[in-house]
Amino acid sequence: MTKSNVAQLLFDTSIRELDIEKERKENIETKAQRFVIFSGILFSIISTYFLVFFDRALNKIYLVFLILSIIILTISILYFIYTLKTYNYTYFDMEELIIFAQDCNYDDLIKRLTGTFSEYITERRVINNHKVSFIVIGYRFFFSSLILMIIGIVLFICNL
């Protein structure tokens, strides 16, 4: 395999990896958006439905579970919203690239582009991994909230 073929292969691989990270970012943000919407609906239903019973039974233990679940659900929503935060990515300086391309041969240009793409991929991967960690934390809070809601509902039904 010649140096040109190796450079072209690395360039093509870099382009594919960059596209994968862009797609990964979109998937992460779509999941976060879905959970924000679902959590918001769940929050409004639970808080509206169970706050009606708040006046009747201030000393009931199920209210503690339900209020805790609403607080934890709110925390999970905040994590999902934070996942949707936009980051400033580094982009090509096209003017610099054009100037560089005029003075270089094809192989040098491919090597330079591959290096630049590698930097972009690394940056995007770090940001996407950061977003994934926030989604995981949001999931944990969300499911903890659901467990507390179910416990609160069961205790409420048992106290009727």
- Secondary structure of residue 89 in the 3-state scheme: coil
Tell me what pLDDT residue 14 has: 79
Longest distance between any two alpha carbons in the chain, whole Å: 82
Tell me what pLDDT residue 53 has: 62
Q: Is the pTM of this model over 0.85?
A: no
Tell me what pLDDT residue 139 has: 93
Tell me what pLDDT residue 129 has: 92
Distances (CA, A) of 155 to 63, 74, 143: 9, 22, 18
Tell me what pLDDT residue 90 has: 64
Cα(45)–Cα(15) distance, rounded to whole angstroms? Answer: 45
Tell me what pLDDT residue 17 has: 85
CB of 17 closer than 8 Å to CB of 120: no
Tell me what pLDDT residue 57 has: 56
Q: pLDDT tens digits, the chain, 160 residues: what are they?
A: 676 777 777 778 878 888 888 899 899 999 999 988 988 888 787 777 766 666 565 557 777 888 888 899 999 999 999 888 877 766 666 666 666 667 777 777 777 777 777 888 888 889 899 999 999 999 999 999 989 888 887 877 777 6
**Geometric angle at alpha carbon 154, from 74 and 35, rounded to 5°:** 30
